[in-house]
Structure 1
């Protein structure tokens, strides 16, 4: 093929050519300059951010005899051979198709041989998270202590799937997403070198559509060049990316903010009639509202030129709705976007979305709304004053009745207002025992210790609101099939128990960390000791053991009342049996308690 894609032609050949990864490139260059080269590296990050390119540049730099400041010369025979993929000592492997144990064993055997042409033999394993468990185990020892002239570079887009035993043996570098500004500058440089005419607004559309991937940006640019006959203009870029023009977004936003649902529906239908993608429309609208929010906070937070609008447009848009309304709009957009993922009729969801956005109103009055609507402000103030006056009168009557009431043992009896509504009873806390007992039947101390060690890492995989809810909780029992989490406060327990999304996210996070599916069960901390006691008694852990129809020879301590699973929990009361004869007994109940809670904290005592 005579034609090559832009991302292949303009692939970085030096560290300085890598876009948006200054921290990574500086660290690698300094390691080469100071001869502090590690034996294994892990390059992790989103697609199209330069992981494989950085690995090839590093392979050239460590083997180049004419490198300067850690950069390869790209002129010597070794550099050219690596660039063309013709050097046998630099081996690039796709782990997606070579993920078995036999392939890794072959690498392990060949790594023992010295390089034939270069100074270092470099293995670049792309998408390393696709390796099987057996393949990872086969790689462990070689990765930890490879031969002197061998370097491993692992690249992945999903580092959480790599075993911790592998990550602990490598130097990890995290590649971040390419900013829209960096992608715009790179595309502008390439088009200037190719001497192609372009519209800068079109480049901004492509940069935003790439979503942080430089390779994606160049692929879209390639499509636009082919579509528009070797030119880049705004209309073609919008058509290729499926994006919506800023003027249409502005018109749609104005209509929903002014609660003109019917007009907004017509605008939305016009957008879809032009062949725009529904998902792209929602993403563009979220980005549009985000720009308005930032401009409301401070106009310097956004680059107006990159948005395709003018300063006057943002001044008008920022006054249409307060931030609270914009937050509600973003929430609605996120919900509809999630529901549209698997539908074949996005127009129905978008119509419902348009009506919802047009009906969004501010629920709490803010100073901005009070100044923008002076006519309605007096009515709100009058209603508030009347309500406060009524409450003051009721409080005065209550005080008079309390003062007039006779003393009762030196304490005043509270008098209840005739029209006072009855106190709302606190919602009864309900614990699903049917889910708790299966976990306790197989619970062990080792499982609990393992879960507690991973508890902080599991919390980091959840959202901020979910982490804040679990801040006052801790695991108190664990088995291979589930864990029990106790909450300090009953109302937080009830809130967590009703949140099915929280349960699913916790179970998914634990499965990623432990490799086992575990059911998560919530209990209130104040009810946990009684639940544990009832379980032990119901399963025979608190009863006397018998032998040949006779009572046990020694009193049985209730496994130290199933020693507390966490600090601060009161021990359960043990049942006392009358001693019949003095002989130490380790019956099956004690063994079961030791297995569940650990022998180091289970203590058997004689009465």
Structure 2
């Protein structure tokens, strides 16, 4: 038998084997156990996160005569046929190459026929967002009035391209990116089963390089094992992925912090001599700067992402660089990354890049203490300065004294004021007036998709934000850290990108209001207190406006009788 890739050999055959998607697998198993399955599902999420695998496992479980606790037995004829792809009742279609109206009409016509050997006929349409508009319209009628014993499973990496009319007729499951820790544990299990020796640090590099995709992780692992004759070492992983070693990045960033241009260029030549990819070189530096930025505010996030591989040099550099300096460095790296795509001399761009990075204004250093032993020239300069100070002091004493009030006014007028980005409460209160839990859940559902639409650097800034309140026309987003809140408030381009992304995901424009998390409880409390006060004042006004019991008693008898006969709306009392 010919060799099969690791991701094919170790493809999940049970829901419990799918990595990092506990919510999805638990829901599907419960639906199968209670026989509450839907006629159409939408599996959305990044590549390599288990969407197609979950669809095939669902097809086996719903048709398996021996299914237990929502899991297929994988031993009966139906399960084996679905695993091998030979069961006629489970049809898998690639929408990227079958995206026309005729293909979907063919599916619609064949779906009317009952399944031949299984209980349900399953249609798995992969990359469904590639269907044309006419194909979506042809599929819409079938999803609206599906035949009995037919289940459609739509899988996509870009759900915002699917019409809302299709999504509304399916049960949507969002597959999230797989954490580096989950990828590491799965690969560790596979290597132990294959009895292959490995370095834990090397396996962590593979897990980080996969960027949240289990299939990508196994593909990289497969490539490294082939390159190194079934030996997994750090050097072999770096050679295959083209990444910089942690030592190289630490040394390079240290020289940048010290503004040592010659040492930085020497490190660059070493990296290029090893044949590292120029784009990957810039990508590694962007990721490192991002990690430094986040580590200064939330070290636990970086500890989790890097699987505990945080060096002492990295920790020291996180206190050396200022946030504004890192922002500028990331902007420079982004510009060069774009330019590298259109040049035949990437080494020149990288050399200029390092020179720019070394000249980014560094963290201001405190003034050094004066030396005990000063030269004769320095002593002369010091004496001259003392004489000038004494002369100026004498001149100040001879000036006419102004009133204390004027002096205080002048002092106050030149007193520097710390600038702080203010929260826009006038935009928050209208959203809170009509905020609902349903609207908030709607924004929370699309928030991961919105983050995936951003670039790496923008996603890093928005990673500490989340929706906290929403109505039909807007959402309030809270940031865990004041630093990131101010950064986004001053980035109009990012705000516009967020609004455009929500418009594409929700189908309608949405206002975005930002608040720091530490200010959010106070704002919400003030809003509730204001509402209670307004309601209390309204009740008091209503009570005052009502006539007293004495006034009611003074109403003439004839008026009462007229009101009883004709009603209050008709009777009008006029005084003589």
TM range (shorter): 0.5 to 0.7
- 8 Å Cα contact 2:45-2:158 kept in structure 1: yes
- Contact persistence 2:208–2:306 (CA under 8 A): no
RMSD over aligned CA atoms reads 4.1
Q: Note closer, same or farther for the CA distance 1:153–1:504 as it changes in structure 2 (3 Å cut).
A: closer
Task: Quickly say closer, same or farther: Cα 1:397–1:125, change in 2 above 3 A.
Answer: farther
Aligned partners of 1:75, 1:351: CA distance in 2, in Å?
60
- 1:169-208 correspondence to structure 2 within 5 Å: 169-208=169-208
Asked if structure 1 preserves the Cα contact closer than 8 Å seen for 2:120 and 2:151, the reply is: yes
Aligned mates of 2:107, 2:206 — CA distance in 1 = 41
Check 1:114–1:237 CA distance in 2 against 1; reply closer, same or farther (3 A cut): same
What does residue 153 of structure 1 align with?
153
Aligned to 1:42: 42
Cross-structure match for 1:78? 78
SS of the residue 1:73 aligns to: coil
- Give the Cα–Cα distance (whole angstroms) in 2 for the partners of residues 6 and 94 of structure 1: 22
Please show how residues 225-240 of structure 1 align to structure 2 within 5 Å. Answer: 225-240=225-240
The match for 2:165 is: 165
How far apart are 1:296 and its partner, in Å? 3.4
> With structure 1 as the length reference, what TM-score do the two structures score?
0.62
CA distance in 2, matches of 1:169, 1:310: 47
For the 8 Å contact 1:295–1:314, the answer to whether it is kept is no
Post-superposition shift, 1:77? 1.0
Q: CA deviation at 1:341?
A: 3.5
Alignment partner, residue 479 of structure 1:
none
* Alpha-carbon shift at residue 503 of structure 1 (Å): 7.9
Q: 2:177 touches 2:212 (CA, 8 Å); kept in 1?
A: yes
Q: What's the CA shift for 1:360?
A: 1.5
The corresponding residue for 1:16 is: 16
Distance (whole Å) between structure 2 residues aligned to residue 305 and residue 134 of structure 1: 43
Distance verdict in 2 for CA 1:290–1:56, change over 3 Å: same
CA contact (8 A) 1:92 1:125 kept: yes
CA distance in 1, matches of 2:303, 2:310: 10
User: Does the alignment pair 1:103 with 2:65?
Assistant: no
1:268 and 2:268 matched: yes
Q: Is the 8 A contact 1:304 1:311 kept in 2?
A: no
In structure 2, stretches of 5+ residues that fail to align are 371-388, 415-442, 466-472, 474-488, 509-576
TM-superposed deviation, 1:300: 4.1
1:318 partner SS: helix
TM-score of the superposition, structure 2-length normalised? 0.65
Quote how far apart the aligned CAs of 1:510 are.
7.0
Quick one: distance in 2 between partners of 1:500 and 1:31?
43
Higher relative contact order (CA 8 A, sep 6+): 2
SS in 2 for 1:75: coil
Query: Which structure has the highest helix share of the two?
Result: 2
Three-state SS of the structure 1 residue aligned to 2:320 is coil
Given that residues 336 and 349 in structure 2 are in contact (C-alpha distance below 8 angstroms), is that contact kept between their aligned partners in structure 1?
yes
Q: 1:482 maps to which residue?
A: none
Aligned to 2:253: 253
SS at match of 1:56: helix
- When residues 96 and 236 of structure 1 are mapped into structure 2, their CA distance, relative to the original with a 3 A threshold, is same
CA shift for structure 1 position 274: 0.7
1:508 Cα deviation after fit: 9.1
Superposition deviation, residue 103 in structure 1:
0.8
Match status 1:358 vs 2:334: no
Alpha-carbon distance, 1:262 to partner: 1.9
- Mapped to 2, the partners of 1:270 and 1:202 lie a distance apart of 21
Deviates more, 1:90-99 or 1:337-346: 337-346
Task: Show the 5 A alignment for 1:84-483.
Answer: 84-297=84-297, 299-303=299-303, 306=306, 311-362=311-362, 370=366, 373=367, 375=369
How big is the shift at 1:178?
1.2
Aligned residues: 423
